[in-house]
Chain A
Amino acid sequence: MSVPMSAPMTAEALLQIRSLSVHYPAANGRAAGAVDALSGVDLDVAAGECLGLVGESGSGKTAILLSILGLLPPNARLGGSIRFHGDELAGMPLKGLNEIRGTRIAMIFQDPMSALNPYMRIIDQLSEVPRVHGGLPRRAAEQRALEMLEAVHIGEPRRRARQYPHELSGGMRQRVMIAMALIAEPELILADEPTTALDVTVQAQILALLQEIRERTGAALLLVTHDLGIVAQLADRIGVMRHGKIVEQADCLALFEHPQHEYTRSLLAAMPRLRVSA
């Protein structure tokens, strides 16, 4: 059962990326220092689907996420098209992007230690999104924030809400990040290695939480990781990236059982396997 290389052309794709390229020109204008972070990337994410992107460091996984939200550094050259609900995100003016950021597309960052403002209480950071976008009054926004803290299973949410980020453990901060991403009920969640900075037991809890939330809210998830174990648990489909290109895209099971591309095979082979011989 071989799966075609290109993304399945579904009409109802939530996010549709076509021949996306990101190019960093060298500072001195010569070709030597220039970098192509991405070239010719085609990607579809259907509503409610979880697409996992795997690949080594520098393969361009994060660059895809950044270009979706218009967060690339100013010297980056973006090419191709990124359509979200048919709206072109590439080259969209900041005003439009700010409408979409946080409300319809949200992002979970890799390191919860550095992704929370150390000078703001948890409740203030959480209620910022509904206050900025929904124009909710302070009380209502804080109520909503407390509900979210409960939804991501933070014990004693009222007490935690009044604390500063440094008073929370890493796992709890990542739960706060997830709550922050979900508070406006986005249709698409971008997760950039959401569990890499956490230890293994907490990782499992966070993954379970992500799974639960997807099932409950029906949000689509674009999950970037270098850990094949994680995508195997969560993803419906997997894209394998290398050197700024997607080298293989397939359903989760198909990819693990019949990897088509040489690189995918070596990635799979690199997964540690534990055999206990009797």
Chain B
Amino acid sequence: MSSSSRAPWRQRLRLRLRGHPGILIAGSVLLLIALASLILPALSPYDYFTPQLDLISRPPMLRGGHLLGTDPLGRDLLIRVLWGCRISLLIALVASLISVLVGVLWGAIAGYVGGHTDALMMRTVDVLYSVPFVPFVIVLTMLFGRQLWLMFVAIGAVSWLDIARIVRGEALSLKRREFIEAARVAGVHGARMIGRHIVPNLLGVVIIYATLTVPSVILFEAFMSFLGLGVRVPLASLGSLIADGASDMQAHPHLLLVPATVLATIIYCFNFLGDGLRDLLDPRRQT
């Protein structure tokens, strides 16, 4: 135990990573998908929006340039899926970040301060919970049109509620722990108490929940695109590609299978990453 804590930070991280090959695998797969979605569209001779009416709904083939085939408008499916990954990953990261930041702060403050503050903050959460989500998004799109930032706001605004509740519950039980009492006796209070003592001890729960939020946000976006509320055509997200593919799945299954497989892979990798990160960041679980 002592040799690992003497090692410098980087070396220790490498040591610990060795015990969790899952993190490395899931992480590199995600990185690969992200990089591919950023770089490949620029290198490809095709773009995501120009129809090629002589190449409608071609199946995947190695020759002819369209590796994964084309869609009913003759657009290259690989490029459209990569663009879809871009959009979906961006929404997932931004919305999850918003929801984790807001949720953790909200929950930690409510739980630690307690009393009337707690009641007021948590009743606010309850009220927001009871807002029906889909009509809410429809109203938003009616007001502002179909815009990408609206998705960030809409998904972020809803998904922090769960985290806030969970974090508050944890903070309530932490508050009575002896080391928090000891910190209070030492005169620690306010923001420092929440930032240095409460939140770090919530990390395990938060990381698990954040990595669960990422896939749920991606699915959410897919669902909204499926309903026609998501990204605007001709831009595609994984969700809208799946929706398009599903309508044509008997004749051209590749239009559904390709984006669905990519989505499933991304979500699986995030779940795996969350599990590994929790173990990695807990100082008590050092290998």
Contacts and interface: CB of A to CB of B under 8 A. Distances in A.
A159 B187 contact: no
Interface residues of A, number: 33
A69 B182 CA distance: 11
A132 B185 CA distance: 12
A89 to B, nearest CB: 13
B177 to A, nearest CB: 7
B181 A99 contact: no
Interface stretch (A13-21, A37-45, A105-113, A212-220): A105-113
A132 B284 CA distance: 27
Contacts of A71: 181, 184-185
Interface stretch (A115-123, A199-207, A237-245, A257-265): A115-123
B203 interface: yes
Given A103-B187, A162-B5, A162-B6, A118 B284 contact: yes
Nearest to A100: B187
Nearest to A118: B284
B285 to A, nearest CB: 10
A57 interface: no
Interface stretch (B69-77, B145-153, B194-202, B207-215): B194-202
A128 B195 CA distance: 13
B225 to A, nearest CB: 40
Interface string B88-126: 000000000000000000000000000100000000000
Contact of B188 (A74, A107, A109, A128): A128
Given A162-B5, A166-B283, A109 B178 contact: yes
Interface residues of B, number: 26
A120 B201 CA distance: 9
A118 B187 contact: no
A100 B189 CA distance: 13
Interface in A59-88: 69, 71, 74
Interface in B179-234: 179-189, 192, 196-197, 200-201, 203
Contact of B187 (A99, A111, A163): A99
A101 B177 contact: no
A111 B283 CA distance: 20
Given A111-B178, A118-B201, A162-B6, A180 B283 contact: no
A274 interface: no
A180 B178 CA distance: 14
Contacts of A162: 5-6
A153 interface: no
A118 B202 CA distance: 11
A107 B201 CA distance: 22
Given A71-B181, A159-B6, A163-B5, A118 B186 contact: no
A269 interface: no
B284 A164 contact: yes
A196 B257 CA distance: 64
A98 B183 CA distance: 11
Contact of B5 (A107, A111, A115, A164): A164
DSSP majority for the B interface?
helix
Given A163-B5, A166-B283, A132 B201 contact: no
Interface string B6-38: 100000000000000000000000000000000
Contacts of B130: none
Contact of A166 (B178, B196, B284): B284
Contacts of A115: 178-179, 181-182
A118 B283 contact: yes
B173 interface: no
B258 to A, nearest CB: 43
Given A114-B177, A114-B178, A120 B196 contact: yes
A129 B189 CA distance: 11
Contacts of A132: 186-188, 192
B127 interface: no
A131 to B, nearest CB: 9
Contact of B183 (A69, A103, A128): A128
A44 to B, nearest CB: 22
Contacts of B143: none
B250 interface: no
B196 A128 contact: yes
A194 interface: no
Given A166-B283, A177-B182, 11 more contacts: A94-B189, A98-B189, A102-B187, A107-B185, A109-B181, A115-B181, A116-B179, A117-B201, A119-B203, A132-B186, A164-B284
Interface of B: 1-2, 5-6, 115, 177-189, 192, 196-197, 200-201, 203, 283-284
14 contacts: A109-B181, A109-B182, A114-B177, A114-B178, A118-B283, A119-B203, A120-B197, A120-B200, A132-B187, A132-B188, A159-B6, A162-B6, A163-B5, A164-B284
